[in-house]
Amino acid sequence: MSENRFKNPLPEEIYLSREYQRKEDIRGPYFRDQTAIIHSLPFRRLKHKTQFFFAPENDHICTRIEHVLHVASIAATICKGLGLNTDLAQAIALGHDLGHAPFGHTGEEVLNEISKEHGFIHELHSLRVVDVLARDGQGLDLTYAVRDGIISHCGERFEQWIEPTKEQKDLSKIKNRATYPTTYEGCVVRVADKISYLGRDLEDAIRAGLVDIKDLPPRIIKDLGRTNGEMIDVMVHDVIKWSNANGKIGFSQKVHSLMVELKEFNYKNIYFHPKLLHYAKYCRRIIRLLYEQLEKTFLSYGLNFNRYKESEFTLERKFGKYLEDMQTVYEREGWPIQQILYDYIAGMTDQYAIKMVREFFIPKPIDSFNSN
């Protein structure tokens, strides 16, 4: 950890603690966490998950895996400017969106609507992925500092500045987004998340023809820039300068107000664009169809894994294989059907979800009739 004014509030042994203590190697604890995340299947699936476009076919549109790499790069740059631990920040950044559902925040909203009592929050589910679901139910056994940063990363809240909470949290008991990281590095990832998606979402929207650069408010172009690269440069330098001067992680009032204005522009002109809202309706329908069908299948087949294997549908066969692989976890949890369905659907990529619905609900065409 840093020896400068950004000294983290908890003892080092808490940050480094894991469920299963192991002898550390040449990589160091946080770089080791990075490699565990990168080599996991949930991380690989991020390359086919949406940032805010749905199942984009344009190779230059940002996907979820590119987003987390951008966040990791930005967070590392800020940490270098503040004398913080870049390995820790990058590990948090790489893992922070592992729990995202297909179709981005639309998928998350649908799963959350299915049960308000249970709910689905991607920050909480990201922790469940690294703690429970990855490696067929073994989890990744990450350090407390990385796990804390993952569940506390909520980038949707636009505070001007934040600082670490000074109390150790029982991460498994957190039920909402009202939590802050216990490290400055975790705070850096929160602001890096904002920096990453503001300009990049705008850039993608321009590339897709949803907006034009001339539509931007003049003061944003003047003081933040015209391109994503220019905007990142301004925001990163501002964070480093303001944070070094104030001992907290944040932005100057001027840059923060520009970011809020850009966020409002993005919501009005991009996220709520009629074309995206039109596609969002279909994405919502896909998630609900998958949930309803898998629920029926589970209630019908139960734990008779042979019935899943004999199904004509890939969706049911794959779901049965998943249940069989994860039965140790779900037996321990009492086979909670809603959690099982959340886990399985949230793990899907955009294209896989579309493919499964197409196969299950749209009959294959008959190419020809053979007569004897």
> What angle in degrees, to the nearest 10, is found between the helix axes of 86-95 and 29-38?
20
Query: pLDDT by residue (tens digit) across 214-260?
Result: 999 999 999 999 999 999 999 999 999 999 999 999 999 999 999 99
* Count of C-beta atoms within a 10 Å radius of residue 227: 14
According to CATH, the superfamily of the domain at 12-274 is Hypothetical protein af1432 (1.10.3210.10)
Percent of the chain beyond pLDDT 70? Answer: 93
Q: Count how many residues are written for the chain.
A: 372
Task: Render pLDDT for 191-205 as a digit per residue (tens, 0 to 9).
Answer: 999 999 999 899 889
Residues 106, 236, 68, 145, CA torsion sign: negative
Per-residue pLDDT of the chain (372 residues; tens, 9 = 90+): 444 689 999 999 999 999 987 788 888 999 999 999 999 999 999 999 887 665 555 555 678 999 999 999 999 999 999 999 999 999 999 999 999 999 988 999 999 999 767 789 999 999 999 999 999 999 999 999 999 999 999 856 789 999 999 999 999 999 888 899 999 999 999 999 999 999 989 988 998 889 999 999 999 999 999 999 999 999 999 999 999 999 999 999 999 999 999 999 999 999 999 988 898 999 999 999 999 999 999 999 999 999 999 999 999 999 999 999 999 999 999 999 999 999 999 999 999 999 999 998 887 766 644 544
Q: What is the pTM of this model?
A: 0.93
- Torsion (CA) 270, 178, 186, 167 in degrees, nearest 10: 170
Q: Which residues does 71 contact at the CB level (< 8 Å), separation at least 6? A: 93, 96, 189, 192, 193, 196
209 is written with which tokens?
Answer: 């023809």
Domain ranges of the chain: 12-274, 276-361
| pLDDT, tens digit, 9 for 90 and up, residues 129-161 | 999 999 999 999 999 999 999 999 985 678 999
**Residue written as token pair 């299915």:** 114
